[in-house]
Amino acid sequence: MSATAVLVLEGVTDFIITGGAALTGYMTANGGLVMPSRAGIVLTVVAGLVGAANQVRGRMKELPKA
């Protein structure tokens, strides 16, 4: 598997994990099983992107220089 594929896969995985955790926290704070509002969806996407960017940035430091 190429280094780019690993970075993309890890980024997507971390996006799902971090976004899911943010969404779960949002839904729990608002009374349990409620559908998220637009603000909750934005929070989920932003948290997922931040988590994915952090994962990819950390992984890029480990890659050999070309």
Q: Give pLDDT tens digits for 27-38.
A: 888 777 778 889
Give me the percent of the chain exceeding a pLDDT of 90: 33
Could you give the CA distance from residue 45 to residue 14 in angstroms, rounded to a whole number?
Answer: 12
Mean pLDDT rounded to a whole number for the chain: 86
Could you give the CA distance from residue 57 to residue 40 in angstroms, rounded to a whole number?
Answer: 26
Q: What is the pTM of this model?
A: 0.78
Higher pLDDT, 7 or 1: 7
The most distant pair of C-alpha atoms in the chain lies apart, rounded to whole Å, by 51
Report pLDDT for 13: 93
Could you give the CA distance from residue 12 to residue 37 in angstroms, rounded to a whole number?
Answer: 23
Domain ranges of the chain: 3-62
Report pLDDT for 66: 60
- Asked if residue 33 lies in contact with residue 11, where contact means CB atoms within 8 angstroms, the answer is no
